[in-house]
Amino acid sequence: MPERPIEEGLFVDDRAGRTRLIGGSCPACGRVHFPRAAHCPWCGARGVVERLLSPEGTLWGWTEVTAAPPGYEGPVPYHLGVVELPDGIRVVTRLVADAADELRFGAPMRAVTDAVAEDPDGTVVLSWAFTPTGGRP
Partner 1 sequence: MTVVEVAGVGLHPFGRFDTTLTELGVTAVRAALDDAGIHGRDGFQAAFCGTAYGGVAAGHKVLAALGLTGGPIVDVEAGCASGAAALMLAASAIRAGQYDTVLVFGIEKMPKGIIRSSFFEPWRERAGLAATPAYFALRAQRLMRDSGVTREDLAAVVVKNRRHGVANPDAMFRREVRPEEVLASRVVCDPLHLWMLCSPNEGAAAVVLRRGPATRGAVRVEAAVLRSHLPGNVLGEATPLCGLVSDDVPAPSTLAADDAYEAAGLGPEDLDVVECQDTDAARELLAYEELRLCPPGRSAAMLRAGETALGGRLPVNPSGGLLSKGEPLGASALGQVVELVRQLQGQAGDRQVDRARVGLAHTVGRGANASVTILRR
Q: Which helix (H) or strand (E) holds 24?
A: strand 19-25
In terms of CB distance, is 27 or 88 closer to partner 1?
Answer: 88
| Phi, psi angles (nearest 5°) of residue 102 | -70, -20
| Least distance (Å) between residue 1 CB and partner 1 | 17
**DSSP secondary structure, 52-90, as one string:** EPPSEEEEEEEEEE-SPPTT--S-SSEEEEEEEETTTEE
Residue 34: name the closest of 86, 111, 82, 92 by CA: 92
Q: Residue from 73, 106, 123, 137 that binds partner 1 (CB under 8 A)? A: 73
In terms of CB distance, is 88 or 134 closer to partner 1?
Answer: 88
In terms of CB distance, is 19 or 127 closer to partner 1?
Answer: 127
| Least distance (Å) between residue 24 CB and partner 1 | 10
Residues 46 to 65 in contact with partner 1, rule: CB under 8 A = 60-65
Under rule CB under 8 A, residue 88 binds partner 1: yes
In terms of CB distance, is 110 or 129 closer to partner 1?
Answer: 129
Instruction: Identify the three-state secondary structure at position 100.
Output: helix
